[in-house]
Amino acid sequence: TKGMATIRGKVMDLTMLAGMEATIDLLDLADGRIVMTFTSDPKTGEYLIVVPAGRQYAMHVQANGYLLHSENIDTGAENRDLSMNVDLKPLEAGTNEVMRNIFFEREKAALDPASLGELGQLLGMLRDNPALRLEIGGHTDGDGAEAYNDELSTRRANAVVDHLVNNGIPGERLVAKGYGASQPLVPNDSDENKARNRRTEMRVL
């Protein structure tokens, strides 16, 4: 029998440091379909789900007035117990979130089809908040020449913006910016860290 993965944690309001109710969607990255939708406990913020292991999931956490939060969950093949606490940030200028399920073909700016689930969630947030303006920032790891990284990250940010505009979001609500390797989250000293630094971020303008 295939193993099961238990995912548990709390959803917190980052400013109030209190548990909160949020909607959590779990998508299967292989085909982009929503596996389940549920809510965290309104008082404690706690949630608990059990899903088939051996698959990769995108988890999206949303609440009105907060920035979409995404996690990438690789369950592994065995029975696993994963703990994942989520801090939601208010929709205020300057707040930012890494979009952990936006993928590109290697060394290219073409969006991988596995990104469509997260892009759909992002579209929903933009449609629900018509006054919201976002900067989409592209970031690379430290490998490669600076000019190359700057250009690649700019093209990747533009690919996300183009997708949103093609799906009906007015272009004046979006800004694409490539940061190259200038804003690493962690040192570029391992493959795992480099993967964390290669990312797409959204920031409220």
CA angle 196/198/203 to nearest 5° reads: 95
What pLDDT sits at residue 156? 98
Using the structure block, give the residue that is written with the tokens 């936006």.
Answer: 102
Tens digits of residue pLDDT in 56-76: 999 999 999 999 999 999 988
Contact 159, 174 (CB under 8 A): no
What pLDDT sits at residue 80? 87
The CA–CA distances, whole Å, from 61 to 6, 46, 107, 170, 190 equal 17, 12, 29, 24, 29
Contact 152, 140 (CB under 8 A): yes
Q: What's this model's pTM, rounded to 2 decimal places?
A: 0.94
CB contact set of 38 (below 8 Å; sequence gap of 6+): 23, 24, 47, 49
Tens digits of residue pLDDT in 133-156: 999 999 999 999 999 999 999 999
Q: Spell out, as residue ranges, where the chain has pLDDT lower than 50.
A: none
